[in-house]
Amino acid sequence: MNHNISILVADDHPMLLKGLIHELTEYGFDVLEGASNGAKALEIIDLQKPTIAILDINMPLLTGFEVIEKCKERGSLTRFIILTSYKEKEVILKAQKMGISGYLLKDESFYEIKSCIRSAMNDEFYASKVFNEVLNTEIYPELERIKYLTPSERTIVRLIAQEKSSKDISDLLAISIRTVQKHRSNIITKLDLPSASDALSLWISKNKEIFLSL
């Protein structure tokens, strides 16, 4: 029964918040007081322990991701659904790593939200099509390419992603700059990147979040 499922909705857009609360209530869910910022959402989750929290990412005081991180640190049993406009791979990668129950775009129909809630209650992940499209076309292929790198080369990649220069890397790893440059050359060859001097830096910048998660 839907009335046994308590839901918190948190979004800093008043019309969207009001509309979603209305739709969920009409569908018979036990909808808690809405939250227009992350701090309020965290407070409600702590006190009322909703079954599901539907969170926007960008909110005042605490982002949706920060709310989820804090709740998981506290051992919360609430299931989390992200409702957002973000389609960027760095955001999707971060969401995937957080163990959420769903990732939906705000332009989806309410039917999709209901489907997501049902899946969450069955401990199944549910997402908008764009989520898997980005994973399959932009994230997983790059992860496959990275598999060909040695542990030392992956370390070099992570440090470049942290905007470290060859001199910085040389100092940090206690190796010569020539060795760093050799690693960079090997990485470029293994990843089949163009020979331009900035090719590796540009590729890493484009996929920074992937490398920092290694």
| Identity of residue 168 | D
Could you tell me the pTM of the whole model? 0.77
What would the two tokens of residue 123 be?
A: 């401990």
Q: Name the more confident of 78 and 211.
A: 78
pLDDT score, position 214: 56
Contacts of the segment 60-68: beta carbons below 8 A, 24+ positions apart: 60/12, 60/36, 61/37, 62/37, 62/38, 63/38, 64/10, 64/38, 65/94, 65/95, 65/98, 66/38, 67/10, 67/38, 67/41, 67/42, 68/98, 68/100
pLDDT score, position 212: 63
**Does position 42 have pLDDT exceeding 90, yes or no?**
yes
pLDDT score, position 211: 65
Of the ranges 7-11, 25-29, 31-35, 135-139, which one carries the lowest mean pLDDT score? 135-139
